Structure 1
């Protein structure tokens, strides 16, 4: 039932855009449409008068897996790469034009497809477009929303548990390793991305990897992580002070910046609702930090969509005029990064609703001293 709804939405989109066929090679898009989770596949789709007809091509390693997972499409097991077989099938199906995802189909792959089509004397022409599947995936259906909420809940539980573990003197790597171990034990399939554990001056680097550096007493610690559960990602960030040991002046400065970032994050969350542009949410965070004199140290976008991938549309940033829609799941994560001093980032995952948003990561995010 779910796959039929997704295919119907895709059919409507393809017809509106005059598409005769679609070749899907980005694996998360393949999974979204037919459920296949293998690492090698091409999904060929032809638009017909009665709807879409799809065929998944994969190699012999995935014979049994494809048989058990794939819905909505027939399956062909190839001897070599799935891409040439998919292109030949499209030619045989009589498609006059085939769309491919410009962002995930390399120039080399496009040339290979064109060569195959010419070799079969097919009239089919290739057109590189913005992926229609990626746009469909921005608004989550009920099952996706449930899975994202479950992943976020588990992330919050893991974070709360780590608060009793983290202490001065530990290395950043020890914190990351313990978190990831606990995530696996709790049922996570893996991490959504490489866990960020950044303490002291390293917290001023937005994407700092965990190192062997020891966490000093009184230092700020930024913990940014996500887990995979049933194929869907969680994402949250919290910044906290680990122990006592810094000067009162420094602690006051850390607290002031922290409270400014928290106010910006809450302002952005409060601005989220159906119909508001992604740019407006970004602006709410930046205006709050501007009032605190800290806007120039906020050096990345305010957030992003997430789902089967940790970064999906929409992008919550300046010049992004796309209106948010109920059912989108996005992050809100402003930060301030003072080079050589410290950094603060606070992030929630929220579900867009008609009236506002639902916070999926309700773990405590106020000032905290361990």
Structure 2
């Protein structure tokens, strides 16, 4: 894949840091400390998204601490093996080869006595690292401030998300040939994930459920041993990144003709998706998107709380995190029966917001259906970024 940025990204990363510094200054902070894990945790980390948004750095399997000061930004790299890469890729940052147990002393050498630091990502910081930071680890949390800065994607971000969407489409198009080889599902996943990596994704994770009656999202080898057979329901979810910017989608179908029960389930989730897309209009409340999909579900006679029904979120925000903050808060995680009803942020939909909408239903005795679309909010409404057809596919 050719370079996706026609210009260096250092300028707009510096602008993001300057905007956050202004907000921190109003809270009496001399600077900001941003903790983040690397991208190897995939969907399992939120701190990486904030670090990537502000620095462009990915420590992969290692953590890092970004120190933002008015005179410049410093990157404290946890792994010595990542230091050469950090210095090569991020010449706009002062890179420090220092282990986490010495981060507190490094901050002390860079800051005046008594300096107050704002904090980002500290909810995921290991307790031992936090302890060793001493007073530097107890300033005001600025996570919500960063989240607001991340709400609207600029042109460069949109470009990368569109590239990620194109890779998702490529994997959906390749699924048929993989199914015809009659490999176990986990091997099909591996082939698709490697295809995405070769095409330019820096991370890719799929789930693939193949069964007479699809029951839930099957991610791991131990639960994805099924070999495709005639009559099976097939659901594929793709989540990947291009230069740290997420792409995501879900498509479904069957091996051979679609059963009447499966077609009915697919019709339900497609109608819910259309309701969600219709609610994505600038100026409308964010909470209305989930409400519209849930109203369509109820209109179709699908009651909540049925013990034979499993569901996951109807959607979430996308960005430098798989579940971008604030926007994701509007969608309840239905797969967790103990999850409280959402208290959606009082946000108004604005152009540049990016969502994944993926209504889904898994019904005991019938099977499962899920459809997922990447949706960029434009001044005119929902701009669907995936191009692979949404209709159920009948694979031979």
**TM bucket by the smaller chain?**
0.7 to 0.9
| Cα separation, partners in 2 of 1:98 and 1:308, compared to 1, 3 Å | closer
Contact kept, 8 Å, 1:279 with 1:320, in 2: the verdict is: yes
Which moved further from structure 2: 11-20 or 195-204? 11-20
Matched, 1:45 2:68: yes
Structure 2 SS opposite 1:226? strand
Structure 2 SS opposite 1:261? helix
Contact kept, 8 Å, 1:277 with 1:320, in 2: the verdict is: no
Contact kept, 8 Å, 2:355 with 2:374, in 1: the verdict is: yes
1:294 CA displacement: 2.1
User: Any idea what the Cα deviations from partners look like across 1:147-206, whole Å, max 9, x if unmatched?
Assistant: 010011121022112234324954222321221232233232230x3x111122562214
Q: Which residue of 273, 281, 299 maps to 2:281?
A: 273
The residue number in structure 2 matching 1:320 is: 344
Map 1:94-105 → 2, pairs under 5 A: 94-105=114-125
Structure 2 SS opposite 1:286? helix
Structure 2 SS opposite 1:203? coil
Q: Which residue of 48, 56, 60 maps to 2:75?
A: 56
Q: Which residue of 255, 268, 273 maps to 2:263?
A: 255
The residue number in structure 1 matching 2:86 is: 66
Map 1:73-84 → 2, pairs under 5 A: 73-78=93-98, 81=101, 83-84=103-104
What TM-score do the two structures reach when normalised by structure 2?
Answer: 0.79
Structure 2 SS opposite 1:369? strand
User: Any idea what the Cα deviations from partners look like across 1:75-102, whole Å, max 9, x if unmatched?
Assistant: 3322664632443246536413543434
User: Any idea what the Cα deviations from partners look like across 1:287-322, whole Å, max 9, x if unmatched?
Assistant: 111111125346332211222332222214143133
Contact kept, 8 Å, 2:118 with 2:142, in 1: the verdict is: no
Equivalent-residue separation in structure 2 for 1:17 and 1:273 (angstroms) = 34
Contact kept, 8 Å, 1:24 with 1:101, in 2: the verdict is: yes
Where does structure 1 lack aligned partners over 5 or more consecutive residues? 118-123
Larger radius of gyration: 1
The residue number in structure 2 matching 1:12 is: 22
Matched, 1:363 2:383: no
Map 1:1-370 → 2, pairs under 5 A: 1-27=11-37, 28=48, 29-38=50-59, 39-46=62-69, 51=70, 53-58=72-77, 60-70=80-90, 72-78=92-98, 81=101, 83-89=103-109, 91-92=111-112, 94-114=114-134, 126-167=139-180, 169-191=182-204, 193=205, 195-200=206-211, 203-207=214-218, 209=220, 211-244=224-257, 251-296=259-304, 297=309, 299-313=311-325, 314-315=327-328, 316-317=330-331, 318-321=342-345, 322-370=347-395
Equivalent-residue separation in structure 2 for 1:77 and 1:128 (angstroms) = 26
| Cα separation, partners in 2 of 1:201 and 1:21, compared to 1, 3 Å | farther
Equivalent-residue separation in structure 2 for 1:183 and 1:125 (angstroms) = 41
Equivalent-residue separation in structure 2 for 1:87 and 1:232 (angstroms) = 30
User: Any idea what the Cα deviations from partners look like across 1:239-266, whole Å, max 9, x if unmatched?
Assistant: 111114x8xxxx1121111111111111
Where does structure 2 lack aligned partners over 5 or more consecutive residues? 1-10, 38-47, 332-341
What TM-score do the two structures reach when normalised by structure 1?
Answer: 0.85
Equivalent-residue separation in structure 2 for 1:84 and 1:156 (angstroms) = 45
Number of aligned residue pairs: 352
| Cα separation, partners in 2 of 1:327 and 1:85, compared to 1, 3 Å | farther
User: Any idea what the Cα deviations from partners look like across 1:300-357, whole Å, max 9, x if unmatched?
Assistant: 3221122233222221414313333321211000001113431101000111122212
Which moved further from structure 2: 335-344 or 280-289? 335-344
